[in-house]
Structure 1
């Protein structure tokens, strides 16, 4: 057994989920060893897609994922996806071939590259300690919620493995007994201060982020005791679906009612949520005089973005349980939970309840009309992955999701072009749900190579392309000021024909009645994925983009 084979066996024994990648000479043996040990490997058509698939898989499955790449350009091709994962604190392990010979065309400072985008750089350094070093990479990824580049020097990979021959048994001995590590117990003084603030609040609002996606039951119980309304950041959308007090998403995607109620709060508690500029509309949703509390595993979050007046270090579920126990027993507090607020949330709490003038016509469909119709057509059990761009608010807000496991939102780096690969990773993680990829035309063209991957994997995916023949954000940002737009606008392209060329079913939509083709596909047997090429109206920017521009 060579070291590369031991590394693959060790990663499999650690319990990592699926692996994604593009195989070259530098990662050939380690990838084959992963597959031989029972790890599912998804071959992407581009390393950037592979990294994003793995990121989405980890988000939606709750398991660490693997991205296997070749040295040098294999790693640089994957870098945007790695940056997104690192910024999102996604547990990924990236085994990458590495050449240490400066004269090689493949040679670059791979560790420096990873560190520059926020990943952790580790290395397998010798034939005897290879498994120990793999286990440490896995521990860092899972326990510390980090994206880890595991450099595999070619000379070390090819050396005979010199450690104990039973690799799975060695991994079992080396792995900490519980991963991730048990969260720290909250400091009594911090807990008491937040309990006091909750008791004093008349209009509390909870905003849950990615760090609280596991804590629905605990947060709903505490909110019921304190009379709090419930909202989420975009990445945790769907967490409180079904609750009559669910405000959906806070921030640029918020409905007028949600924005009004959050601005009216006298206490905002962020649970595993940084309260960044998107979640708070550049801070404008936090009114003067509103107290802000944050509950987070990382106390550094207390001073970032909107600073907290008080912070509690700890896991969201653990802290919520402790607060519920600490509050006086008795009838549920009313707080913000009045009959009038309940009625307004029921009648005005979703974007599709907000009136709008349908601008469809002239061979183009209003993206709101398109998305509402798709929401009615598509089965409720879905997982929606959304790319970045002017269009993104429409699928994010008008396509409903059943719970927090139904929305995959890779926007920490805000890169265009990750949407299709995100949908593939989400589909691999959640085969029980219909995968829906929502893309702009710009992102669709960037990710075009992975259409073949969708077909090859046999995914019953619906890919919706909102085509305004432009990079719409730039059009609506610079166009009103009279700037030339030739560099960000494009001639028409037949995306439906491109999809058919890859073996997909496809429909072109310019009016609501064209969606009959989607209804037919949904009847079955869904043997081929479906691309919906929607030619959307482009006269105005989306509402969330207008909000974003106010911050510049």
Structure 2
């Protein structure tokens, strides 16, 4: 048996890997060939290496399983750099198997791969020898799962092709242990809760992973507290009458009013990043209790009144028990939470004037919410348009919602991630909403959806510009609109024609009356669909508008 065969066997039998996203190199090709043909796994072939990593990210997010990508050496790894940063900052447990030919004299693809990986935040594990190969794989998987981050497994081609002696793996798959919350911290939190008159519960992705919905509902009801989620945990409180939707810069005006009126935020498994905190605005003049299983996450960006390290469910239960011990009375609800606990928001009254042949971003997106199939996954990229899908599109579970922009702030990553979501949840369509600039950065992966018969609906919000930069220029002191137009607007090709050439169906929207064709195309689709939505780059949408830049 060769090392590549031993690694494939271990991936399948020890680590339950059944899907790999790849643009393969010499060594990884042999591993994946063995995994597919001997162990029945599926390989989703991507067009670029960043797409492979992003596909693994989307798959992991939608399934909760380890995401696996396989790529080549040198430039293959550097192509994946931005995707690795996003995955690391997104706390995505991924295994990225990369060839390494650095030891080959004169090989133009040679580079210090450990040095490439280091600044991404991903872990780096080298397959050190033939004898340790399977154990090194096991160590990489454990790091990914325990530390919740991607791991690059560096596989020298010479080792992959060597004979393996058949030694069984000594790897273990021990679960990570979450420390119990300190009694003194729970006591201090209960005191803060008793002093507060308007507490609010905030749940993040950590609360979802801890399966803490029931515990937080009980605690919120006792405190008379409204509940909200981070954008990553969108829909976690779906159906709760106490829900005000999402907490952050894209919250509805009603939700922001409730948040600002609160005097205590109890954040469970929420990172409290700049987007959730609206750059600190939503956390001003109130006490903050932050509960997280990782000490490093507490107070990482904004200071908190009290940090509690522990499992979200355990802490919620301990708080409830401590309030019982103190005979603290239940309270009436203090906020005007939406009766339905809806996650959608009515748009603010933005300027409605726009160029002929374009539609209103918010109006179109609200119609898309009504037309998208029940149970659909939603993936969005970044840009000015993103306020609309984040405010108006709903999902049934946080695993059905993905926005791979919050870690590194890069656009152009969502198409690859959407492929992974579509593979992970094939029973429901995946709706990708992407800006025109991000689409042009990543459109080469469209054919991946066609090759793999994925149920994908791509909605391109097309204002023919990089409009965040466009509005930045318009807001600059020079106010040179000609310069702004010259530097940030583009005469793109017809996206519908591009999509059709790659095997998609396509619809172009230049007026809201065209939406009937969109609805029909969604309902009658038999292959991947692209919707090209024409927007006016000058129209105000409520995010990165030129007035905000002053």
Q: Return closer, same or farther for 1:430/1:331 CA change in 2, 3 Å cut-off.
A: farther
Deviation at 1:357, TM superposition (A): 5.5
Aligned to 2:41: 39
Query: In the TM superposition, what are the counterparts of 1:382-397 in structure 2 within 5 Å?
Result: 382-397=376-391
Aligned to 1:216: 213
Deviation at 1:468, TM superposition (A): 0.4
Cα separation, 1, equivalents of 2:342 and 2:18: 41
Deviation at 1:549, TM superposition (A): 5.6
Deviation at 1:235, TM superposition (A): 1.0
Secondary structure in 1 matching 2:394:
coil
Contact kept? 1:437, 1:462, Cα under 8 Å:
yes
Deviation at 1:492, TM superposition (A): 4.0
Aligned to 1:527: 526
Q: Which of 472, 486, 506 pairs up with 2:467?
A: 472
Deviation at 1:198, TM superposition (A): 2.1
Query: In the TM superposition, what are the counterparts of 1:70-89 in structure 2 within 5 Å?
Result: 70-89=72-91
Secondary structure in 1 matching 2:465:
coil
Contact kept? 1:233, 1:279, Cα under 8 Å:
yes
Aligned to 2:239: 242
Aligned to 1:167: none
Deviation at 1:328, TM superposition (A): 1.4
Cα separation, 2, equivalents of 1:287 and 1:345: 27
Contact kept? 1:510, 1:534, Cα under 8 Å:
yes
TM-score with structure 1 setting the length? 0.93
Deviates more, 1:186-195 or 1:133-142: 186-195
Secondary structure in 1 matching 2:69:
strand
Q: Return closer, same or farther for 1:237/1:69 CA change in 2, 3 Å cut-off.
A: same
Cα separation, 2, equivalents of 1:93 and 1:112: 18
Structure 2 unaligned segments of length 5 or more: list them: none
- For the aligned residue pairs, the C-alpha RMSD in angstroms reads 2.2
Secondary structure in 1 matching 2:459:
strand
Q: Return closer, same or farther for 1:160/1:31 CA change in 2, 3 Å cut-off.
A: same
Secondary structure in 1 matching 2:29:
helix
Contact kept? 1:124, 1:134, Cα under 8 Å:
yes
Aligned to 1:459: 454
Q: Deviations over 1:113-142 (max 9, x none)?
A: 111111111111111121111111111100
Secondary structure in 2 matching 1:260:
helix
Q: Deviations over 1:365-403 (max 9, x none)?
A: 011111011111112311100011111111121112222
Aligned to 1:380: 374
Cα separation, 1, equivalents of 2:123 and 2:343: 41
Contact kept? 1:283, 1:306, Cα under 8 Å:
yes
1:277 aligns with 2:278: no
Q: Which of 320, 326, 332 pairs up with 1:324?
A: 320
TM-score with structure 2 setting the length? 0.93
Query: In the TM superposition, what are the counterparts of 1:175-186 in structure 2 within 5 Å?
Result: 175-176=172-173, 178-179=174-175, 181-186=176-181
Q: Deviations over 1:73-108 (max 9, x none)?
A: 111111111111011111001110001335211111
Query: In the TM superposition, what are the counterparts of 1:391-430 in structure 2 within 5 Å?
Result: 391-411=385-405, 412-430=407-425
Deviation at 1:199, TM superposition (A): 2.7
Query: In the TM superposition, what are the counterparts of 1:184-199 in structure 2 within 5 Å?
Result: 184-199=179-194
Aligned to 1:500: 500
Deviation at 1:531, TM superposition (A): 0.5
Contact kept? 2:265, 2:288, Cα under 8 Å:
yes
Aligned to 1:90: 92
Cα separation, 2, equivalents of 1:96 and 1:492: 35
Structure 1 unaligned segments of length 5 or more: list them: 165-169
Q: Deviations over 1:39-89 (max 9, x none)?
A: 321111111111111111111211111110001111111111111101111
